[in-house]
Structure 1
Amino acid sequence: MGQLTGRTALITGASSGIGRAAAQRFVAEGARVYVTGRRSEALEESVRELGDQAIAVPNDVSDLDDIDALFARIAADAARLDIVFANAGGGDADQPLHSLTPEAFDRTFGTNVRGTVFTVQRALPILNDGASIVLVGSSSARRGTAGFGVYSATKAAVRQFGRVWAAELAPRGVRVNTVVPGPTDTPGLRGLAGNPEQADEFVGRLAGSTPLGRAADPAEIADAVLFLASSQSSFITGSELFVDGGEVQVYP
C-alpha cells in the first residue's frame, strides 16, 4: 500500500521537470493521475513511462476552454479528485520594466495566475472533501531580482491566493499549501539560458545562491509535493514549504 493508494490526482504542467517528477512519485505511491501539458508529444512520452495509472489530457492552462475541456474529460470518467497539484507555470528570464511589453506581462500572468486560479476553481465541483491542493511558489517572490518583476509578482499572487483559499475551503476539510522550489535543474530552467551552451553556466550560477551550493533535482521537489498531498501533512494548510537549499532562509 502506497501513501496515495486509492486516490486520484491532477497534475498540470506534467510534460517535464517538477510536474513529471511529481507524476512519477504519485504513481509509485499508488495514485491514479491525470497529467496535462501543452506539448502533446512530451506528454504522451511521459504517460508511456508512467503506465496505466496515468491519463494524458493535453491542456494549456492559460486557455479557459482548455481548462473546461480538461474537467469535462475527468467528469466523463466519473472521477473525483483527491489531489490537485497546480504546477503549470513559467516566465522569461529577463523582463525589466523599461522593456516589458503588455504581451509578455499577459503571457506570464495568464499562465501563472489566471491558469492557477481557474484550474483550482474548476476543480471544486469534483474535489472530494478532505482533498489537498498544492500550488507552486518561487523563492524569487521573496527577492528583488532585476528582470524578474513580472514572474516574481505572479508567484507572490499565487502565494496570497493560497492563504485565502485555505480559509475558504477549510469548512470542507480541503487543505491548500504552497511548495516553494529554489533553483531546480529542469528543462524549463535551462531554457532560460538562451542556448544549450550557456545552460550549465546559468544553472551553476543560480545554484551558487544556495547554501548547499547546488540546484535541486526535480525528484527532491516532488518528494515535498508528495508530503503536502498526503495524509502526512493532515494538519498543515495555508503554509509555504521551502525546498530551496536554504536560499531564502539562510541568505534572505
Structure 2
Amino acid sequence: MGQLDGKTALVTGATSGIGLAAARLLAGEGAHVFVTGRRTEALDAVASDSITPIQADVSNLDDLDSVYAAISDRGQGLDILFANAGGGEFSALPDVTWDHYATTFNTNVGGTIFTVQKALPLLNPGASVILTSSNIDVKAAPAFSIYAATKAAVRSFTRSWAAELVERGIRVNAIAPGPINTPGLAGLAGSPEDAAQLLKGLASGVPMNRLGAPEEIATTVLFLATPASAYMTGAEIYVDGGASQI
C-alpha cells in the first residue's frame, strides 16, 4: 500500500531534475501522475503505467487547457498539484532586457498563476497545491534579480491562495530549494568548465558544504502531498542545507 494510492497528481516541468524526481516518487507511492514538459523525447522517456506525459509550456494558456482536459477526461479530479515549471538566466541589472524580464515572469509568475487557476475546477476536497519557490526569495544573488523577484512573487501567492482556498479544504504550500544538482542549474553556465566552477562555488556557500539532490526535494513534495502535513497551509519550507537560516 502506497501513501497516495488512488490519488491523481500533476507535476509541471517534470522531464528532469526536481520535477522528474517528484513525479517518480509520487507514482511510486501509488498516485497516477500527469507530467508536463516541452521536450518530446524527454517526456517519452518518463512515460509508464502510472505516469502520463503531456507536452506543454506553462506560459501557453492553450497548452494548459489541453493538460487539464486530459486530467478531466480521466474522471477522478486532481488531488496533488506540484506547480514546479520555471527557470531563469543570469543578467546583471545594466544588462537586463525587456525580453529577459518578460520571458522569466511569463514562465515563473504567469505560468504559476494560470497552472493553479485552471486547476481549480478539478481540485478535489483536501487537495494539496505545492509551489516551487527558491531560497533566493530571501537572499541576494548578483545578476539574478529578475529570477529572485519571480520567486518572491511565488511566496506571496502561497499565502494569498492558501487564504482563498482554505474554505474548500485545499492547502497551498511552497518549497524553497537551495542550489540543487540539476541539469537546469548547470545549464546556467556557458560551458562544462564554467558549470563545474559554478556548482563548486554554490556548494561552498551552503553550510552543509554540498549541493542538494533532486530526490531530497521530492521527499518534501511527498510530505506536503500527504496527510502528514494536514495542519500546514500558507507555509514555505526551505530545503537548502541551511543556506537561508544559518
TM-score by length of 1: 0.96
- Correspondence for 1:76: 73
- Which residue number corresponds to residue 31 of structure 2? 31
Runs of 4+ in 1 over 4 A off after TM superposition: none
| Alignment partners' CA distance in 1, 2:195 and 2:100 | 22
Partner of 1:44 in structure 2? 44
Match of 1:110 in 2: 106
Instruction: Determine the structure 1 residue equivalent to 2:52.
Output: 55
Note the C-alpha offset of 1:72: 1.3
CA distance in 1, matches of 2:193, 2:44: 28
Q: Measure, in 2, the Cα distance between the counterparts of 1:88 and 1:202.
A: 22
Shift of 1:234: 0.3
1:156 positional shift:
0.2
Q: Deviations over 1:113-156 (max 9, x none)?
A: 00000000000001001100000111111122221110000000
Does residue 184 of structure 2 align to residue 184 of structure 1? no
Give the deviation of 1:202 after TM superposition.
1.1
Match of 1:13 in 2: 13
Residues 62-141 of structure 1: pairs in structure 2 closer than 5 A? 62-92=59-89, 94-141=90-137
Counterpart of 1:98, as a letter, is: P
Letter in 2 for 1:199: A
DSSP-derived class of the 1:176 partner: strand
Residue 79 of structure 1 and its aligned partner are, at CA, apart by 3.3
What does residue 156 of structure 1 align with?
152
1:205 paired residue number = 201
159, 171, 174: which one pairs with 1:175? 171
CA offset digits 1:76-128 (Å, max 9, x no partner)? 22231000000000000x21221111111010001100000000000000100
1:18 Cα deviation after fit: 0.1
**Aligned-pair CA distance for 1:30:** 0.6
Secondary structure of the corresponding residue to residue 244 of structure 2: helix
Give the distance between the partners of 1:203 and 1:144, measured in 2 at CA: 17
Give 2:82's aligned amino acid: F
The sequence identity of aligned pairs, in percent, is 53
Matched residues in 2 for 1:28 and 1:11: separation? 14
Amino acid of the structure 2 residue aligned with 1:39: R
**Which consecutive unaligned segments of at least 5 residues does structure 2 have?**
none
